[in-house]
Amino acid sequence: MSLRLYDFELDENAYKVRLLLAFLGLDYAKVAMDVFPGTEHKADAFLKLSPVGELPALVDGEVVLFQSEAILAYLARRYDGSGLWLPEGPAALGAVTQWLAFAAHELRAATTARRGALFGVPIDEAATRAAVRAAFRILETHLVMQGLAGRSWLVGDAPTIADIAVFPAFALSRDFGIDHGEYPALRRWLRALRDLPGFIPMPGVPGYH
Amino acid sequence: MSQAETGWIPVALARDVEPSSSMGTQIHGQEIVVWRDSAGQSHVWEDRCPHRGMRLSFGFVRGNHIACLYHGWEFDTAGQCRKIPAHPELEVPKAIKTVRYASAEAAGMVWVHEAPAEGALPPGLPAAEPVRSLYLDCPAARLVAALREGDGKVRVTGDEGQLLTLDFCGAKLLGGVQPLTEDQCALHLALPAPGADPQAIVDWSEALRRRLEVAPVPDTSAAALAEAVA
């Protein structure tokens, strides 16, 4: 097999890629990185693949990519013959990209909060919490609106890589003490995503409910 | 909050508590679990496993049992512990029970009675289509005061306990008020009849929240400052 994913089991961004690979039913080699305590992701060899020093990185023959959202887009375009995970139409493509950017920017606070809670990384807890809640509210309202229009996903009528990119931040929010009670639409969406064929869990995201 | 206190508090839109699922919420700072069994019946309990105090809302619904995330203790719909996986041979003592509350569904919402007692929801609440639950970082009293004041789109036309009847641009809208803590509340919105645009209601609710969550600003008008100096 030619696909190689540089992975860390507890990394939510690597999980996004593992999720899509599972939904697409693709075989791949997993390179397990010693992130804690080894900081292998900051070592010379890995920085050549991912100069930002963050997981994941993907190698597929000549193609080398870092940033999970970019990897999702590549895998969908390259291997999803159905075109459902990354739709072609301009409006849908724009909307998917919008939520990919949202996952990378606004939901970065969730990654920060989780690293603070799980790995003791020093953070401004109040500001981080406020940023996470603001982002979750934006998602909640969007999914309420989608629901009123008879839709269950972030974009259109079917799941896309936008749903995958946003998923771990909410699914893992109990790791940093933000419960799901205030987000009923997100809760229903989380259950729907977990029910998709091929879904895989990660520590903190059970495979059943 | 009104002329007619009923002791009944809305805790969720019924639609949002799906079969075989649970959610955690609060009433007056008390943590509760709202869960629906696989047969569709909803239940409202204290959100505590009697074993180690773990929140049951973190657990899993299996048939008509809810199971704790920690050690898998399973409770039936009467709150009776039925299974302790670590002791499969044990006949579970009758004393191992959860604290249950009287609950009911009406007006598109799940309701709980404040006291852990049996009781019946006041009759006559209409069926209603869910719109959304809005969670606000402001006291329930401030939310209700703002609704009573009205804002050009919405005014209060009636109330019964925690259920406000609202007029939304000429259409009837129900608003169930849930006091979560001293500083947080929820407004569960449902439409008893078609006539209003639900998306317009969501837009209005977002604006309402933005308005209510702004902390009260001290009066720094020239007149107030002059008065302070004098």
User: Is A1 in the B-facing interface, judged by CB distances under 8 Å?
Assistant: no
- Summarised one tens digit per residue, pLDDT across range A74-83 is 999 999 999 9
Q: Do B60 and A184 touch (CB under 8 A)?
A: no
* Average pLDDT over every residue of B31-59: 92
pLDDT at A208: 76
Helix (H) or strand (E) holding A69: helix A68-79
Q: How far is B207 from chain A (nearest CA, A)?
A: 12
Which residue in chain A is spatially nearest to B20 when comparing CA positions? A209
Rg (alpha carbons) of chain B, rounded to whole number: 21
Which of A141, A149, A185 is the closest to B206 by Cβ? Answer: A141
- Which helix (H) or strand (E) element contains residue B104? strand B103-106
Q: Judge whether residue B49 has pLDDT over 80.
A: yes
Contact B69, B59 (CB under 8 A): yes
pLDDT of B116 > 60? The answer is: no
ipTM of the complex as predicted: 0.94
pLDDT for the residue B2: 46
| pLDDT for the residue A191 | 95
Cβ contact (<8 Å) for B132 and A181?
no
Q: Where are the domains of chain A?
A: 3-79, 90-194
Q: How many helices (H) and strands (E) does chain A have?
A: 8, 4
Ranges of chain A whose pLDDT falls below 70: 1
- Which CATH architecture is the domain A90-194 placed in? Up-down Bundle (1.20)
Judge whether B162 and B224 are in contact, CB under 8 Å.
no
Domain A3-79 sits in CATH at 3.40.30.10
Interface test with A, best of B61, B135, B197 (most A CBs within 10 A): B135
pLDDT in tens, B168-210: 999 999 999 999 999 999 999 999 998 899 999 999 999 999 9
Asked if residues B100 and B116 have their Cβ atoms less than 8 Å apart, the reply is yes
Peptide bond into B116 cis (omega under 30): no
| Structure confidence at residue B53 (pLDDT) | 85
Burial degree of B122 (CB within 10 A; 0-12, 13-18, 19+): middle
How far apart (Å, rounded) are the C-alpha atoms in residues B187 and B30?
18
Chain segment A123-135, per-residue pLDDT in tens? 999 999 999 999 9
Q: Is B9 helix (H, G, I), strand (E, B) or coil?
A: strand
In the predicted structure, residue B3 carries a pLDDT above the cut 60: no
Task: With a cut of 80, say whether residue B5 has pLDDT above it.
Answer: no
Segment A27-33 long-range contacts (CB within 8 Å, at least 24 positions apart): A27/A1, A27/A3, A28/A1, A28/A3, A28/A4, A29/A1, A29/A3, A29/A4, A29/A5, A30/A5, A31/A4, A31/A5, A31/A6, A31/A7, A32/A7, A32/A8, A33/A6, A33/A7, A33/A8
Q: What φ, ψ does residue B86 adopt, rounded to 5°?
A: -70, -15
Digit-coded pLDDT (tens) for B16-37: 999 999 999 999 999 999 999 9
The first and second tokens of residue B56, run together, are 């049951």
